[in-house]
Amino acid sequence: MPTFNRIVLSSCAGLWIFAAPLLAGCGKTSIQEPTLKDGLVVVAGAEKVRVTLDNAGAIEYEVNEPYPAPGSLADLTNQLKSKGWSPLRYDAFNPGMENSFSRGWSEFGDLSKDGKPQQVIHWIGQWKGPQEMIAFYELRYQGRPTPNGEAEAQGRLKVMGTLLTDEMVRRQRRQ
């Protein structure tokens, strides 16, 4: 069962953070796990789950699964398909670019906080939902460059998902 460490709710009026210790101090004896919006998925073994209202809803968590995360990818895909979501072959923002369903994992260079080069190894997939929503997921590992120029994945898998309406996607394409 995933552990929900905190729920972050944001709105135009401000940012509200509800944490277990704060609620306990208000006389609450238990916290309900949040109800996830359709299209937001928590895979088996997820920890440090964080749900927000960013875009049309978002989720972040970590999984202790080595690269290339076959279990998490299968779980994510199966849960979405079982709810009527279909994988998009091409990126919703860049129609000529294939999602990772076809091209697999990719990597890019990044500078870490201490200025040392890091590699990010990531998988990006998007699904179209029954309510004309897009579920956008990125799975990523931090990596380190190897002498042959490829990256070696390190650490825990980080999963980030967000829901976007068709209108949000159209606005982003126009920018």
Higher pLDDT, 152 or 70: 70
Q: And the tokens for 23?
A: 């609620």
Does 106 reside within a domain? yes
Does 103 reside within a domain? yes
Domain span including residue 41 = 37-174
Q: Which residues lie below 8 Å from residue 132, measured CB to CB, with a gap of 6+?
A: 165, 166
110-133 residue pLDDT tens: 776 677 777 899 999 999 998 889
Angle at 78 between CA 103 and CA 167, to 5 degrees: 70
CB atoms within 10 A of CB 17: 10
Residue 8's pLDDT is 39
Q: Are 126 and 137 in contact (CB under 8 A)?
A: yes
Does 104 reside within a domain? yes
Does 18 reside within a domain? no
Distance of CA 141 to the CA centre of its chain: 12
32-87 residue pLDDT tens: 456 789 999 999 999 999 999 999 999 999 999 999 999 999 999 999 999 999 99
Does 93 reside within a domain? yes
Is residue 89 pLDDT above 50, yes or no? yes
pTM (2 decimals)? Answer: 0.78
Residue 34's pLDDT is 63
Is residue 102 pLDDT above 60, yes or no? yes
Residue 39's pLDDT is 96
Q: Are 144 and 152 in contact (CB under 8 A)?
A: yes
Does 129 reside within a domain? yes
User: 52: buried, middle or exposed (CB in 10 Å: 19+, 13-18, 0-12)?
Assistant: middle
Does 54 reside within a domain? yes
SS3 146: coil
Does 12 reside within a domain? no
3-23 residue pLDDT tens: 444 333 333 222 222 222 323
Count of structural domains, the chain: 1
Cα dihedral sign, 9-76-160-103: negative
